[in-house]
Amino acid sequence: MSSLSALTIHELIDLLDRGVCSSEDVVTEVLSAIDARDERVGAYLDYDAEGALAAARSADDARSKGAERILPGIPIGIKDVLNVKGDTCRCGSRILEGYVSPYDATAVARLRQAGALFLGRLNMDEFAMGSTNENSAFQITHNPWNLEHVPGGSSGGSAAAVAAGEAVAALGTDTGGSIRQPASFCGCVGLKPTYGRVSRFGATAFASSLDQIGPITRCVRDAALLLGIMAGRDPLDSTTVEVPVPNYQEALADDLKGMKLGIPREYFVEGIDKEVEQSIRKAIRLCGDLGAEIVEISLPHTEYAVAVYYILATAEASANLARFDGVRYGARDEGHDPMDLYVKTRARYFGPEVKRRIILGTYVLSSGYYDAYYRRGQKVRTLIRRDFEQAFQECDAILAPVAPTTAYRLGEKIEDPLQMYLGDIFTIPASLAGMCGLSVPCGFSDAGLPIGLQIIGDAFREDRVLRVGYAYEQSTEWHKRIPPIRDDEGGR
């Protein structure tokens, strides 16, 4: 018998509709998967089994009385950076120890309104700063495909939980690749929406001009479903845009006839893992077979993207993280005056990567360096944005690798921050340009680690990237593979 915890949201909705199972059954099985595997995976920081079961029972009750919800009692995992009313929200940091959120993030509120329930907090790199989850202040998360490897980051807990069958779907946030890269490393589907598509209200800010909330799921259709619920203008976030939200599921099709897909020449250069390159090339050929026209394009400023990103993101972060001072919430170390309180609290409760980035961000904004770094970074950002605008004159979507390699071994890059940053070279440019990007499984390395195909779309054209991702997914079997840790399921 196939485990409920292994199904997609769409499959579960079908079973719930037909009365084959209840929401309580689903939650029970997800909880038992967590029980069985999370000791090894380490995806959850904490979860409320009793609360989730109670919420599931009340969803079942509502359904029996005729309530119609899009996500009737579907449990969704939440990255620790998102505020859920009544839950902790530590952002993977000790500095938010003790904080209980008094409000729902808008994306969370919209999912809740649609009937979803939230069973726990998923691990992440502290304040979303990292690509491996090794920067979490609390625990290491392991890649379900090989526990010696990282799940990616910063939404590593979210991707690992979905891959390990410990969550039906999860929310992550993506600033420079933090949804797409862990989805790729864990063999999931991950969608970073266009900047302004999903409200950031309630997502603890890392870099305000880059952050976006998005889904990590088992299939493209589920990502389309969740995006459709979360997307749209929010009066609480001034950067959300008044662009109509299409029915993303209706945009899905089995072929790619009439679509032009661009292959950026700068993304296939030295340094990219051979196995990764082969998988991507194969995926591109398959898209051609599905009817797409494949064209070569150029994104000439790609090589500058990481530098721009580490100026702008850290600068914004240095201000965003100033509020963690031990006065209104969170952890605190006493001092003899307020400044002493700040320096002690922040020194003690921020981890090394967060400190490093706050220092870099403070530096690039400081007197004498603003023009040389911050302002120049903003200007090069314009050049990168123009690269994409030009590219989308020539194609409907861009196909590229998500990352140059498969998941790193634990500890492999922790000593060399620059090498770690350069691993985000393929996801950062689209983030800087504000474009949307989807990660879809497209193969495995000989070592059995997943490889992800990145589909980058023009602003507010999530419908197109989802269509490409769906057509590709439906003509392959990669997304049906399950990691060895799920051998206890007995297959699907």
Partner 1 sequence: MMAQESSKNTRHIDVAYVAQLARMQLSDKEVPLFQDQLNHILHHVDTLMRLDVDDVEPTSHPFPGENVYRDDEPREGLAHEAAMKNAPKTRAGFYVVPKILE
Partner 2 sequence: MTRGAGDLMDYRVTIGLETHVQLKTQTKIWCGCRNRFGQPPNTDVCPVCLGYPGTLPVLNRESVRLTVMAGLMLGCRINERSTFDRKSYFYPDMPKNYQISQYDEPLCLGGRLEIEVNGRKKSIGITRIHLEEDVGKSIHYEQSSGVDFNRAGTPLMEIVSEPEIESADEAFAYLTALKQVLLYGGISDCNLEEGNIRSDINCSVRPVEREELGTKIEIKNMNTFRGVHRSLVYEISRQINVLNDGGSISQETRRWNDETGVTEAMRTKEYAHDYRYFPEPDLMPVVLTREQIEGWRATIPELPGDRRARFVREYGLSEYDAGVLSADRNVADYYEEAARASGHFKAVSNWIMTDMLHAMSEGAIPIQEVKITPGALAGLIDLVDRQVINRPSAKRVFTILFEKGGNPADIVEQEGLSQVRDTESLETYIDEAITAHPQSVSDYRSGKKAALKFLVGQVMRLSKGKADPQMALEMLRERLDTG
Among partner 1, partner 2, none, the one that 204 touches (CB under a kind-dependent 5 to 8 A) is partner 2
Q: What is the footprint of partner 1 within residues 417-456 (CB under 8 A)?
A: 417-418, 421, 432-434
Q: How far is Cα 192 from Cα 461, in angstroms, rounded to an integer?
A: 12
Print the binding letters for residues 368-387 with partner 1: x by CB under 8 A, - otherwise: xxxxxx-xxxxxxxxx-x--
Using the contact rule CB under 8 A, the part of the chain among 98-106, 145-153, 156-164, 404-412 near partner 1 is: 98-106
Q: What is the footprint of partner 1 within residues 462-481 (CB under 8 A)?
A: none
Q: What is the footprint of partner 2 within residues 366-395 (CB under 8 A)?
A: 366-367, 370, 374
Query: Between the CA of residue 464 and those of 134, 220, 243, 247, 391, what are the distances in Å?
Result: 34, 12, 15, 12, 15
Query: Hey, what amino acid is at 272?
Result: I
361: its two tokens: 């961000």
Residue 205 C-beta: closest distance to partner 1, Å: 14
According to CB under 8 A, which one of 18, 19, 50, 235 is a site residue for partner 1?
235
Any residues with CB less than 8 A from the CB of 441 and at least 6 apart, and which? 184, 187, 188, 189, 450, 451, 452, 453, 473, 476, 478, 479, 481
Catalytic residue ranges:
79, 154, 178
Q: What is the footprint of partner 2 within residues 136-195 (CB under 8 A)?
A: none
Question: What length does the chain have?
Answer: 492
Among partner 2, partner 1, none, the one that 168 touches (CB under a kind-dependent 5 to 8 A) is none
Print the binding letters for residues 164-203 with partner 1: x by CB under 8 A, - otherwise: -------------------------------xx-------
Query: Between the CA of residue 484 and those of 158, 252, 487, what are the distances in Å?
Result: 18, 30, 5
358 binds partner 2 (CB under 8 A): no
Among partner 1, partner 2, none, the one that 335 touches (CB under a kind-dependent 5 to 8 A) is partner 1
HSE-CB for 137 with a 13 A CA cutoff = 19
Among partner 1, partner 2, none, the one that 246 touches (CB under a kind-dependent 5 to 8 A) is none
Q: What is the footprint of partner 2 within residues 87-116 (CB under 8 A)?
A: 89, 91, 96, 99, 101-103, 105
Peptide linkage before 154 cis (omega within 30 of 0): yes
β-pair partners for 215: 171
β-pair partners for 264: 297
322 binds partner 2 (CB under 8 A): yes
Q: What are phi and psi of 171, to 5 degrees?
A: -100, 140
Among partner 1, partner 2, none, the one that 26 touches (CB under a kind-dependent 5 to 8 A) is none
Residue 384 C-beta: closest distance to partner 1, Å: 9
344: its two tokens: 């002690």
